[in-house]
Amino acid sequence: MIPIFFTVGNERPVKVIPNTQAQVDGHQVLTYTYNIYNDGGFDIDEENRQESELLLEKKVDPNYLGYITFEDPGKMFTYTADGRDELTTHEVEEIIENISHYRDHPGMWNIEGA
Residues 45-60: tens digit of each pLDDT: 777 777 767 666 678 8
- Predicted local confidence at residue 88, as pLDDT: 94
C-alpha triplet 112, 77, 35: angle, nearest 5°? 40
Query: By C-alpha distance, which of 7, 69, 80, 86 is closest to 39?
Result: 7
Contacts of 14 (CB under 8 A, 6+ apart): 5, 6, 7, 8, 36, 37, 38, 39, 65, 91, 95
- pLDDT band at 8; cut points 50, 70, 90: very high
Helix (H, G, I), strand (E, B) or coil at 31: coil
Query: By C-alpha distance, which of 108, 97, 93, 113 is closest to 30?
Result: 108
Is residue 18 pLDDT above 90, yes or no?
no
- pLDDT band at 112; cut points 50, 70, 90: very low
- Predicted local confidence at residue 114, as pLDDT: 39
Is residue 4 pLDDT above 50, yes or no?
yes
Q: Which residue has the higher pLDDT, 26 or 46?
A: 46
Residues 66-111: tens digit of each pLDDT: 999 887 767 889 999 988 899 999 999 999 999 988 888 777 665 4
- Domain boundaries, given as residue ranges, for the chain: 4-108
